[in-house]
Structure 1
Amino acid sequence: MGGDNSKLTYRNVVIQLTTKTQPIDSNDNAFWERFWTDISISVQDMFVLIPAAEIRALREESPNNLATLSYKAVEKLSRIAEASFPTAKDQQTALNCIRLLTRLFPYIFEDPEWRSFFWSALPLEPDSAVDDECVPLAHSLISALCDLLFCPDFTVHSIAKSGPEGPEDMHTIDSCEYIWQAGVGFAQNPVHNTAHDSNRTEILKLLLTCFSETMYMERDEAQQTQNKWVSFFTSTNNRHALPLFASLLNVVCAYDPVGFGVPYNHLMFSDSREPLVEVALQVLCIVLETELTASYPTHSSQGYRNLVGRMSSEAEEASSTTATSAGDGTTEMNLFANYMSRIHRDEDFAFILNGLTRLLNNPLQQTYLPGSTKKVQMHQELLVLFWRMCEINKKFMYYVLKSSQVLDLLVPILYHLNDARSDPARLGLVHVGVFILLLLSGERNFGVRLNKPYKNRAALDIPVFTGTHADVLIIVFHKLITTGHRRLQPLFDCLLTIIVNVSPYLKSMSMVTANKLLHLLEAFSQPWFLYSGQTHYQLVFLLLEVFNNIIQYQFDGNSNLVYTLIRKRQVFYHLANLPTDQSTIQRILKRRPTTLPNSDHSSPESSPTISAKSKSHSIKDNHDAQTTKEGARKKSQADIISPTSAVAPAGNRDVNGSAIDTPEAESSGDAPTTNYASALQPALAETPAIRSMTDRLLANAAGSTSGDFHSSDGATHPLEDALISHLSPSRRFRSLSDNSSPPKLTSYPHESGDGLHSVPLNHPGIAHSSLLGENPTSMATERVTDPPNSYTSLNSAQSVNHHSSKSSGINQTPGRSDENASKHEGVGHGAGWVPTSDWAASWKAKMPFQTIMRLLQVLVPQVEKICIDKGLTDETEIVKFLQNGTLVGLLPVPHPILIRKYQSNAGTAIWFRNYLWGVIYLRNVNPPIWYDTNVRLFEIQRV
């Protein structure tokens, strides 16, 4: 039939179906066959010829006809899959049925009453009900689709058999011989066939559509309800589970979008493999989601067996495990996760890691000819897949960490963090990158690897410096905090936790990086910020722990940081002198900044989504403009040794002393502009609290946890007591050596009449919107989580009940946000919470000052003396002097290294599930499978 006539005929059939008010006889095969026989309708035409409104009308007004159409299409697919040798006509019929079901299913899932339809016992044949051979419609569909994924001459090449035997039929085929790509467990590389790739893609998209039933559940329901489609697909009922796992994984990891590197080849030739890789990647991410209670076996040398020809033994082993778990009443084993956990050979790990790093670094590749190489944009799914693999297979994660290629993963992650930091539509990507770095930072090898010099200048938009990958990480984190979107505030503690975890292993820090860290401390130690949130002080504790770790364990190579600590020592002196009396706290909060000239907080009626014209309210970092070049920088002697230089800001100010850049200047600065290519944005789930994501462990004591710590005197103290000083700042100073005079705790020149530390509110370089509590109208729509409560277990600091953010807390829709808006005291004042003198004094007394103050007490007089005696005006000479110094025997006994390791938790699992389905929703635009359907798992916002 001609193309136009075929479309017209098909449209007439659809109209006949949707206009009939009476049920059509299911035995009227002449009518039903017209939907898939003797026609060739592309999937794009299918979506045009069957409008969404007509599907919904059919579902509501003629449900029997919709049920019959679905049943007939599944039955047709099952019969084709059961045929010994499907003909070319059968294959086209199967494609038509697949496209039809892909169009119908999202609208069927919209109505919860239809869910049981797919799981009801329906006979495969009219007379089979007599024999009680009934299977749910969903089982028939999944089994048929899996069979078709290994159908010779349709989705795989037929293998010629020697002797009189013909090609294998669909009943006897060993699908392990038909794995799509060489790689893990399969050495043969099949010939690439464009038609096969296209057919595989369409089948996988229908499978993905079946799995998407989760998108049409409320978040609480999705958390409590098992996805039956995924469970059946990953169970032992799927005889193709093993070859499917290998095929999906190998197709993704073997894909090379650049190929032989011929310039502009992607403009001359279509790439049929990219759509297949994308959908395979999405299916893998979905099916590798496991229950939190699932455990995966560790393996001996025999370990992971070769996939080829071992399907039966693997299935038998999994079946026995499944039977055991069924007897215990637990969830059936996920074979895909089980197979992933069994991979153990270094060759397989290398293949997977090479594939992931190749695809993640693809957007960063620089060429002399603009646009000459193909760029793929599947980094979101790749990062989720990497996360899943690290959670399931710890041996893979350890392999990554011991390999230098871990830095090939780090650089693209930092690139995306930096690039997406001010784009509200890509905040989820920032979260994923931070979560992955938090996971990796819990291992010593990651911190050690960060000491490798960084040489790839063009990849990241960061200041010019000479340093290591650790410098890059800290600089990017600084930009996230100071110029990132205000809704990234729940990640501040995660970012600082990562720096804390790696800090004991950083051998050399550049001057630029040292200034960034001190700048963060300067910002977070503002009195109005510390007293405006119940847990804000924990950010200061984390930064102090970073400095303590480096001073105690990496002092020799970090003269740049030591010099910066001396230069900005007044920050520590003022923090030690922080007033804690109630009247002063109230005066500080009254003078607390509430808004900015360029602030545009959302109104209560507005959506949580930031408008396209809205900025991230960032203030450019002029504070460190002088330190972006590390040549011979001349400074006056007074600037080097003056205590006021710690807060002397640089940069242009307006007549009011403001260093806030105008929106025009901001858009032309280093903060990236928002990408408006996509008009839709799924709302993210609530960021899990850091306390639910990490477990505190001693890095230098295997197996140690955050239990009791035994000191040298034999006494037992809680672990946090070994990490912090319980002396007040004044008592601490008096306890130091009598041979050196204690530093004078002078005040800033910006000192108010009541003796308060009063840094100008518009101090350059920090995004005030990142520090300010959202005003009441903004809190109702932003729904930012509160910072966590258990970094240092300051029990005495909890004079009031701190809200324990539920790990399963979800970002609610605007209509339901009022009940959550009052729960967040991490920004501004929490509902019913008022800072008290006892509360402030409790955590101030536990600030870990002793190591830093001892360093300042010893080195400041020496630096001042050498500057005066030798007339030094160049800071490089001071740094050289510090390089030759030592604090051996002068510092307190080194504290134990405390590592906050990521631990699996429900909150993170929920967050990743919601984020992944949001990515899948937006990425599948050809055809737009879920567009304009009533998804309930997340809210679709227009940017």
Structure 2
Amino acid sequence: MGNISDPCLLPHHPQPVETTDDAFWDQFWADTATTVQDVFALVPAAEIRAVREESPSNLATLCYKAVEKLVQGAESGCPSEKERQIVLNCTRLLTRILPYIFEDEDWRGFFWSTVPGAGDEGNDDGARPLAESLLLAVSDLLFCPDFTVQSHKRAEEDMQSIDSCEYIWEAGVGFAQTPPLDYIHDLNRTELLKLLLTCFSDAMYLPPSAQNNILNRWVVFFSSTHNRHALPLFTSLLNVVCAYDPVGYGIPYNYLMFSDYREVLVEHAVQILIVTLEHETLNTFPNRHQTHSTEDNLFVNYLSRIHREEDFIFILKGLARLMTNPLIQTYLPNSTKKIQFHQELLVLFWKLCDFNKKFLFFVLKSSDVLDVLVPILFYLNDARADQSCMGLIHIGVFILLLLSGERNFGVRLNKTYSVRVPMDIPVFTGTHADLLIMIFHKIITGGHQHLKPLFDCLLTIIVNVSPYLKSLSMVAANKLLHLLEAFSTNWFLFSASQNHHLVFFLLEVFNNIIQYQFDGNCNLVYTLIRKRNIFHQLANLTSDPVTIHKSAVTVAIDKLTEKAQVSEDGTMVCLQHNTHSPQMTADQNTHTLQPQTAGDQHKHSLQSADTNTSGIAGASDTLSLPVLSWKSKLPLQTIMRLLQVLVPQVEKICIDKGLTDESEILKFLQHGTLVGLLPVPHPILIRKYQANAGTAMWFRTYMWGVIYLRNVDPPIWYDTNVRLFEIQRI
């Protein structure tokens, strides 16, 4: 490797070197003292590009010879240390070179061409494209005894007849035995997985497009029946991820004293999993030209067929343990290892729920779903104001939207929230539903301006679970009313044509709770009574163009921040007023929700608003007509009837008993009833997540963006011409 800059490969010496010149080519992988970091340092990007442009035949031969060495290693089983080192050096060299092959349009198909003369020696694989030979060799090497797995026999094992299902890396799904840990095997597996990930990254060099349904050929072949190791590879990757415990025995600061090679392996394993499971989403939409189905992708097929309850328990416990890891608090600061690959875990959890409905129903069958909910809410709250974390918030919200489409999720939210996680929220006594509402309130009122297109999504989740919420706390009830108060102001309602949707969502939440969970929700009923002016103002909302224009110009536009903080006992504590103007523009891609009821189905799209607050005045005339249409549809009947019945009763009891303490009013409301007084209950409307081409493209872009940023040692794709997303260097 020290001779990587041989004159024959430099741009000013473009002479082709013969393929048969083994003495020359062997110098690239014969050195035994290299690491992957050495390879990246010794092979600079400028040199690779120069060789690609001025000595293309030499670069092609280098790739071919490196793949040939991997194939030879896979066939022989790497019995000697020298052969293992050659395999590792070739792996590192290809990991370094491949991104520069992909970034050039003329080279992208190189690995999918056959090598002239490769089959002259009677090798049946001679007609194989180089990419297929590479993928099959790497798959074989991932189950090579004494190199990546523990040998079961004393005699040398034949790589061609080996049953790799006996060499699955970790106990768990489909495998009961726990192989002994060997950090050398973990290191070698990691090197090979890096190369696989680099092969799959071909997708990063294609521009984003919702209509781009071109399948990743690398992933298609790797996850097909052509790969005889597909099943043991899938189970090995999944089991390694779900069995990993970063805390171990819990010895403080153990991660500072000992290297954890398993963590790096786990991180690459979860990245390989989400990439191999991603391509299938492109085939779930109509008008596709490919004939691939779920069965073609064995990874998707195996994932969808997991059904044993003990496997579900193993997967859910493992993912929940890893997701919760960053939330762990200890008396000694920073004494416990904190993993950094939680975004990849969220994508994997999404894929599990999306492809395996039995797993989704198992997750929602018990309160274990809350072990996933709490860390997701923690991530959402922690990232809400960070523009670089918008993708994390989107994937978290999508997961909660998917879960909220099932009745059991709303039921599970009624469990008391007792585990205290470090979040900047008011202290409260309540349920997980209260926690969800408070976090969503913070995202809406204190999140980044680019999150505005997610407001519909956040409120849709609350609407979906609202018919099952048995007892909201006073804090959560006040948060919901504060949102309604903010969204029903004239300046907000008239600043964009879709903003009234948010008011409709919140009114639907209140109607659901009143109609289906009135008993036990005295805190919300009391808050509705106390804030009854909001509903009267909505009922009397003007649609006069002059008034709309006047309100848009003269009303002071306050940022959506609380004017008062509600303490646990319900009392109001005034806070300093914030007068920053909100941003009413949005530039995020939008996603479609499919509401589903027994008798009615209609589509509701989350659309981004291109309207700026500066254009409110000019648009007031055109807004007045739509206002007339939706104002008459405001679902206020149930709430107004509740106020009509209860407000006089509450006023009377306050006067008769001279009450000044709201606890007495709450007791009165707690024992009250509206049976026979409310309108006929409306059917429960659940809006379920529906995938589309836009969300599929978003998932792919987000996933590869995360993988790009996570792989910095070595920086596999740094300074290459990535086209799937834009890279901003700080």
Q: Same fold (TM over 0.5)?
A: yes
Paired letter, 2:429: T
Mark the CA change 1:112 to 1:29 in structure 2 (over 3 Å): closer, same or farther. same
Which of residues 263, 288, 310 is equivalent to 1:347?
310
Match of 1:932 in 2: 719
Q: What is the distance in 2 between the residues matched to 1:222 and 1:193?
A: 45
Match of 1:676 in 2: none
Deviations 1:816-854 (A, max 9, x none): xxxxxxx83497759999633321110000000000000
Which of residues 614, 628, 633 is equivalent to 2:567?
628
- 1:509 aligns to 2:472 (yes or no): yes
Deviations 1:710-733 (A, max 9, x none): xxxxxxxxx8xxxxxxxxxxxxxx
Which of residues 492, 503, 517 is equivalent to 1:540?
503
Would the aligned equivalents of 1:651 and 1:659 in 2 still touch at CA under 8 Å? no
Would the aligned equivalents of 2:587 and 2:610 in 1 still touch at CA under 8 Å? no
Match of 2:351 in 1: 388
- 1:103 aligns to 2:96 (yes or no): yes
Q: What is the distance in 1 between the residues matched to 2:329 and 2:21?
A: 61
Which of residues 870, 875, 893 is equivalent to 2:680?
893
Match of 1:42 in 2: 35
TM-superposed deviation, 1:933:
1.2
TM-superposed deviation, 1:67:
1.0
Mark the CA change 1:116 to 1:400 in structure 2 (over 3 Å): closer, same or farther. same
Would the aligned equivalents of 1:585 and 1:835 in 2 still touch at CA under 8 Å? no
Mark the CA change 1:252 to 1:89 in structure 2 (over 3 Å): closer, same or farther. same
- 1:650 aligns to 2:650 (yes or no): no
- TM normalised by structure 1 equals 0.73
Q: What is the distance in 1 between the residues matched to 2:612 and 2:231?
A: 47
- 1:520 aligns to 2:483 (yes or no): yes
Q: What is the distance in 2 between the residues matched to 1:418 and 1:365?
A: 16
Structure 2 spans left out of the alignment, 5+ residues: none
- 1:444 aligns to 2:407 (yes or no): yes
TM-superposed deviation, 1:133:
3.8
TM-superposed deviation, 1:905:
2.1
Mark the CA change 1:422 to 1:525 in structure 2 (over 3 Å): closer, same or farther. same
Match of 2:589 in 1: 687
Match of 1:733 in 2: none
- 1:904 aligns to 2:691 (yes or no): yes
Would the aligned equivalents of 1:534 and 1:835 in 2 still touch at CA under 8 Å? no
Paired letter, 1:628: S
Question: In the TM superposition, what are the counterparts of 1:308-327 in structure 2 within 5 Å?
Answer: none
Q: Give the match's secondary structure for 1:219.
A: coil
Q: What is the distance in 2 between the residues matched to 1:12 and 1:33?
A: 14
Which of residues 157, 175, 188 is equivalent to 2:177?
188
Q: Give the match's secondary structure for 2:688.
A: strand
Q: What is the distance in 1 between the residues matched to 2:211 and 2:718?
A: 20
TM-superposed deviation, 1:593:
5.8
Would the aligned equivalents of 1:121 and 1:136 in 2 still touch at CA under 8 Å? yes
TM-superposed deviation, 1:934:
1.2
Q: What is the distance in 2 between the residues matched to 1:524 and 1:844?
A: 14
TM-superposed deviation, 1:105:
0.7
TM-superposed deviation, 1:687:
3.2
Q: What is the distance in 1 between the residues matched to 2:509 and 2:612?
A: 22
Tell me the percent identity: 63
Paired letter, 1:30: A
Match of 1:731 in 2: none
Q: What is the distance in 2 between the residues matched to 1:110 and 1:696?
A: 42
Deviations 1:248-306 (A, max 9, x none): 000000000111111211111110100000000000000012434768xxxxxxxxxxx
Question: In the TM superposition, what are the counterparts of 1:393-408 in structure 2 within 5 Å?
Answer: 393-408=356-371
Q: What is the distance in 2 between the residues matched to 1:884 and 1:281?
A: 52
Say which structure, 1 or 2, has more relative contact order (CA 8 Å, 6+ apart). 1
Would the aligned equivalents of 2:282 and 2:696 in 1 still touch at CA under 8 Å? no
Q: What is the distance in 1 between the residues matched to 2:292 and 2:240?
A: 36
TM-superposed deviation, 1:222:
8.4
Which of residues 222, 245, 253 is equivalent to 1:233?
222
Mark the CA change 1:403 to 1:10 in structure 2 (over 3 Å): closer, same or farther. farther
TM-superposed deviation, 1:61:
1.7
TM-superposed deviation, 1:652:
2.9
Would the aligned equivalents of 2:8 and 2:17 in 1 still touch at CA under 8 Å? no
Q: Give the match's secondary structure for 1:900.
A: strand
Q: Give the match's secondary structure for 2:718.
A: coil
Question: In the TM superposition, what are the counterparts of 1:749-788 in structure 2 within 5 Å?
Answer: none
Which of residues 507, 530, 539 is equivalent to 2:493?
530
Match of 1:160 in 2: 153
Would the aligned equivalents of 1:159 and 1:167 in 2 still touch at CA under 8 Å? no
- TM normalised by structure 2 equals 0.94
Paired letter, 2:98: F
Mark the CA change 1:122 to 1:326 in structure 2 (over 3 Å): closer, same or farther. farther
TM-superposed deviation, 1:630:
2.0
Of the structure 1 ranges 389-398 and 19-28, higher mean CA displacement relative to structure 2 is found in 19-28
Would the aligned equivalents of 1:685 and 1:910 in 2 still touch at CA under 8 Å? no
Q: What is the distance in 1 between the residues matched to 2:449 and 2:208?
A: 25
Paired letter, 1:651: L
Would the aligned equivalents of 2:9 and 2:55 in 1 still touch at CA under 8 Å? no
Would the aligned equivalents of 2:294 and 2:301 in 1 still touch at CA under 8 Å? no
Match of 1:697 in 2: 596
Mark the CA change 1:339 to 1:458 in structure 2 (over 3 Å): closer, same or farther. closer
Q: What is the distance in 1 between the residues matched to 2:159 and 2:125?
A: 25
How many residue pairs were aligned? 723
Paired letter, 1:401: L
Paired letter, 1:839: P
- 1:428 aligns to 2:391 (yes or no): yes
Q: What is the distance in 1 between the residues matched to 2:381 and 2:289?
A: 47
Q: Which has the higher helix share?
A: 2
Mark the CA change 1:150 to 1:486 in structure 2 (over 3 Å): closer, same or farther. same
Would the aligned equivalents of 1:75 and 1:124 in 2 still touch at CA under 8 Å? no
Would the aligned equivalents of 1:652 and 1:659 in 2 still touch at CA under 8 Å? no
Mark the CA change 1:331 to 1:629 in structure 2 (over 3 Å): closer, same or farther. closer
Paired letter, 1:851: T
Q: What is the distance in 2 between the residues matched to 1:217 and 1:579?
A: 51
Q: What is the distance in 2 between the residues matched to 1:128 and 1:64?
A: 22
Mark the CA change 1:326 to 1:536 in structure 2 (over 3 Å): closer, same or farther. closer
Which of residues 520, 527, 531 is equivalent to 1:568?
531
Q: What is the distance in 1 between the residues matched to 2:620 and 2:111?
A: 51
Q: Give the match's secondary structure for 1:223.
A: coil
Structure 1 spans left out of the alignment, 5+ residues: 1-6, 296-324, 597-617, 636-648, 662-683, 699-703, 708-718, 720-787, 792-803, 806-822
Match of 1:4 in 2: none
Mark the CA change 1:839 to 1:14 in structure 2 (over 3 Å): closer, same or farther. farther
Of the structure 1 ranges 109-118 and 581-590, higher mean CA displacement relative to structure 2 is found in 581-590
Would the aligned equivalents of 1:497 and 1:900 in 2 still touch at CA under 8 Å? yes
Q: Give the match's secondary structure for 1:901.
A: strand
Deviations 1:855-889 (A, max 9, x none): 01111111111111111111111111111111111
Mark the CA change 1:293 to 1:508 in structure 2 (over 3 Å): closer, same or farther. same
Which of residues 261, 272, 275 is equivalent to 2:264?
275
Match of 1:706 in 2: 600
Mark the CA change 1:124 to 1:374 in structure 2 (over 3 Å): closer, same or farther. farther
Q: What is the distance in 2 between the residues matched to 1:846 and 1:36?
A: 73
Would the aligned equivalents of 2:115 and 2:130 in 1 still touch at CA under 8 Å? yes
Mark the CA change 1:468 to 1:16 in structure 2 (over 3 Å): closer, same or farther. same
Q: What is the distance in 1 between the residues matched to 2:152 and 2:651?
A: 82
Mark the CA change 1:326 to 1:332 in structure 2 (over 3 Å): closer, same or farther. farther
Mark the CA change 1:215 to 1:833 in structure 2 (over 3 Å): closer, same or farther. farther
Match of 1:118 in 2: 111
Would the aligned equivalents of 2:10 and 2:47 in 1 still touch at CA under 8 Å? no
Paired letter, 1:174: D
Q: What is the distance in 2 between the residues matched to 1:366 and 1:337?
A: 36
Match of 1:25 in 2: 18
Paired letter, 2:562: D
- 1:918 aligns to 2:705 (yes or no): yes
Match of 2:127 in 1: 134
TM-superposed deviation, 1:68:
1.2
Q: What is the distance in 2 between the residues matched to 1:15 and 1:622?
A: 73
